[in-house]
């Protein structure tokens, strides 16, 4: 299995599912839905949905069909996309460019972008709780919903973004940077892996291993993001390069320098793979995904 | 039963539940949680939670405890509060005053207010899906979650707010005003009633009656809100009076004048009560609540 073709195939699987799982821009609310679709369909690597699908297959205990996991996978991408829309707002990071395209508020106005984000977040929970989607039991759907709500909310992604903004242009201890990373980025990545594991009926030990794996790749992911923001060009990133430094944000490279930061990312990926020691070859995509996160840093 | 003492008693029941169901402002995310709590605890009539509790009791088929319904009731208030925070933002209605107090963004900044809203919305789904809260079956919790997500999202409240803003200072047909009212305000009020009915195990016919009741009081509620905005003072409202006219918003009084508008509210309340014809005396609070909505217009 070659990682690039695997990623492309999985990305297309997720994007095809959007056709049935994301509303079309029609009817009374077409402009608002168009604003939601604009950011959701603007590209992206679809890392969270792909992790969710890969974790479900790694468990492999039951015959879980893609159709059962895809609503969860799409919900994760809705949540990720809403967070980007709100983070880019003038009142937050004030970014005009994302994935090489105008950010949502540049095209749809601030009010439109706030509501597009609100709409995507709420749609995620509509997908997760929809009794007509997939064959997972209500109990399992509810557990997945709660896992994702906790990770996306005030003790996870939203809380992390609040800290990130509160600490702009201030000096703070490394432990605080870790808290910000863990909550802002790590929590939803871990939840993506865990949600896949719950969907596939993973046992306690398997879910604990997946959670640890998620924590380590979440960390690696954020470290690499920091690195890329500091070292890549705007054209390479599709968003403003160097924006962290401009906003006076604390980052791994700011603490450790580029070289040491890269070796910390490598260490986190190695630990992630160690968490999968008890899994068989069905976890191979998860292992490749961990390696892929590190290779992005070059 | 006197409506005022009933409302006060039920309001306190809901607000006491916040003590256990809403996070305390402590730990890493205390400032963010404080911003959420500020608006949630700033008062309000708690109409949606009270409707939810009253609808559950109106079914009365099973011995459903308040403890089973209160997480749903509190989730509804979190969603309502988040919508107020986002609606008040400078990019939306730009209101400085709400319930006689400074709006969230005046105190916590725009970024803080956006995130407080995001946090409350997500916490609502955390409450609804939390396996540790209440004794409702996972199936029933999931149905409630989906009912509320649909009503709060792009085909309900969020979509309605997007239309409301898009149509500011424009002329549009009365049918569009109805769509805005039904989605922006009516949908979540109907969902509050329906969620209580689902929680209490209402049958298909009962839930259909509750849905119709919810639609009619939702309409009455919005008509009365329009009336109060046009006729009451800022001191009476605790928010800027006359703001609809200032923003060039279409309202019932703008279409029909004050007198005709009042009689339309009365008609909606009468129809709401007719929907409850097959319910026994356990639905009396729902009947009083419908009447109460109309009396607010005087």
pLDDT in tens, A177-213: 999 999 999 999 999 999 999 999 999 999 999 999 9
Query: Which chain B residues contact residue A149 at CB under 8 A?
Result: 122-123, 125-126, 129
Does residue B97 sit in helix, strand or coil? strand
Query: Which chain A residues contact residue B112 at CB under 8 A?
Result: 162, 165
* pLDDT surpassing 70 at residue B297: no
Whether B119 sits inside 8 A of A154 (CB atoms) is yes
* pLDDT surpassing 90 at residue B246: no
Quick check: ipTM above 0.90? yes
Average pLDDT over residues B140-146: 98
Of B41, B36, B17, B16, which Cα lies nearest the Cα of B26?
Answer: B36
Helices (H) and strands (E) in chain B — how many of each? 14, 2
pLDDT of residue B241: 67
Compute the nearest-CA separation of B179 from chain A (Å).
8
Report the Cα B290 to chain-centroid distance in Å.
Answer: 14
* pLDDT surpassing 80 at residue A97: yes
Query: Which chain B residues contact residue A158 at CB under 8 A?
Result: 32, 115, 118-119, 122
For residue A173, report the phi and psi dihedrals to the nearest 5 degrees: -65, 160
Whether B153 sits inside 8 A of A122 (CB atoms) is yes
Whether A150 sits inside 8 A of B112 (CB atoms) is no
How much is the mean pLDDT over chain A? 93
* pLDDT surpassing 80 at residue A232: no
Whether A163 sits inside 8 A of B28 (CB atoms) is yes
Average pLDDT over residues B139-161: 98
Residue of A nearest to B155 (CA): A29
| HSE (side-chain half, CA atoms, 13 Å) at A129 | 31
Beta bridge partners of B102: B97
* pLDDT surpassing 80 at residue B290: yes
How confident is the model over B7-22, as pLDDT tens digits? 999 999 999 999 999 9
CATH architecture of B3-295: Orthogonal Bundle (1.10)
Average pLDDT over residues A258-281: 96
Q: What count of other Cβ atoms lies within 10 Å of the Cβ of residue B220? A: 27
Angle (deg, nearest 10), helices A138-152 and A66-88: 20
Compute the nearest-CA separation of A149 from chain B (Å).
5
pLDDT band at A74 (very low <50, low <70, confident <90, very high): very high
pLDDT of residue B242: 72
Query: Which chain B residues contact residue A141 at CB under 8 A?
Result: 138, 142
pLDDT of residue A96: 94
SS3 of chain A: helix, strand, coil, percent, to 5: 75, 0, 25
Question: What percent of chain B lies above the pLDDT cut of 70?
Answer: 95
For residue A237, report the phi and psi dihedrals to the nearest 5 degrees: -85, -30
CA distances from A13 to A33, A46, A62, B281 (A): 22, 10, 20, 54
Average pLDDT over residues A100-112: 96
pLDDT of residue A1: 64
Least confident window among A170-179, A232-241, B277-286:
A232-241
Does residue A276 sit in helix, strand or coil? coil
Whether A118 sits inside 8 A of B121 (CB atoms) is yes
Compute the nearest-CA separation of A180 from chain B (Å).
9
Question: Which pair of structure tokens corresponds to residue A254?
Answer: 């700011």
Of A28, A143, A153, the CB nearest to B123: A153
Residue at token pair 């260490």:
A267
Residue of A nearest to B184 (CA): A29
Whether B142 sits inside 8 A of A143 (CB atoms) is no
Of B89, B111, B143, the CB nearest to A131: B143
- B271, B216 contact by CB (below 8 A): yes
Does residue B100 sit in helix, strand or coil? coil
Of B99, B4, B5, B10, which Cα lies nearest the Cα of B53?
Answer: B10
What is the rounded CA–CA span in Å between residue A127 and residue A123? 6
Beta bridge partners of B225: none
What is the rounded CA–CA span in Å between residue B197 and residue B210? 7
How confident is the model over B94-105, as pLDDT tens digits? 999 988 899 999
pLDDT of residue A99: 84
How confident is the model over A27-57, as pLDDT tens digits? 999 999 999 999 999 999 999 999 999 999 9
Whether A119 sits inside 8 A of B31 (CB atoms) is no
What is the rounded CA–CA span in Å between residue B218 and residue B160? 13
Size of interface A-B (CB pairs under 8 A): 170
Query: Which chain B residues contact residue A170 at CB under 8 A?
Result: none
Q: What count of other Cβ atoms lies within 10 Å of the Cβ of residue A152? A: 30
Residue of A nearest to B152 (CA): A122
Interface test with B, best of A78, A90, A129 (most B CBs within 10 A): A129
Compute the nearest-CA separation of B257 from chain A (Å).
26
What is the rounded CA–CA span in Å between residue A230 and residue A236? 12
Eight-state DSSP code of residue B185 = I
Burial category of B260 from C-beta neighbours within 10 Å (exposed 0-12, middle 13-18, buried 19 and up): exposed
């Amino acid at each position: 299995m070659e990682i690039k073709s695997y990623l492309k195939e999985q990305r297309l699987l997720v994007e095809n599912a959007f056709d049935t799982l994301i509303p079309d821009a029609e009817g009374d609310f077409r402009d608002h839905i168009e604003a939601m679709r604009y950011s959701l369909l603007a590209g992206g690597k679809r890392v969270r949905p792909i992790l969710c699908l890969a974790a479900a297959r790694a468990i492999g205990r039951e015959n879980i069909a893609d159709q059962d996991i895809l609503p969860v996978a799409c919900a994760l991408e809705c949540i990720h996309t809403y967070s980007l829309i709100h983070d880019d707002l003038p009142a937050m990071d004030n970014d005009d460019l994302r994935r090489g395209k105008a950010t949502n508020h540049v095209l749809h106005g601030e009010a439109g972008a706030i509501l597009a984000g609100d709409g995507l977040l709420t749609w995620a929970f509509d997908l997760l709780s929809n009794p007509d989607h997939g064959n997972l039991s209500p109990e399992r759907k509810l557990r997945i919903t709660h896992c994702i709500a906790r990770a996306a909310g005030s003790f996870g992604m939203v809380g992390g973004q609040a800290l990130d903004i509160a600490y702009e242009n201030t000096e703070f201890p490394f432990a605080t940077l870790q808290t910000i990373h863990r909550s802002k980025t790590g929590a939803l990545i871990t939840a993506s892996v865990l949600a896949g594991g719950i969907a596939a009926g993973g046992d306690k030990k398997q879910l604990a291993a997946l959670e640890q794996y998620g924590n380590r790749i979440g960390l690696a992911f954020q470290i690499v993001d920091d690195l890329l923001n500091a070292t890549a060009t705007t054209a390479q990133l599709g968003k403003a390069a160097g924006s962290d430094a401009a906003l006076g944000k604390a980052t791994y490279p700011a603490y450790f320098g580029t070289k040491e930061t890269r070796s910390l990312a490598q260490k986190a990926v190695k630990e992630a793979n160690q968490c999968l020691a008890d899994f068989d070859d069905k976890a191979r995509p998860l292992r490749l995904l961990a390696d892929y996160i590190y290779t992005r840093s070059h």
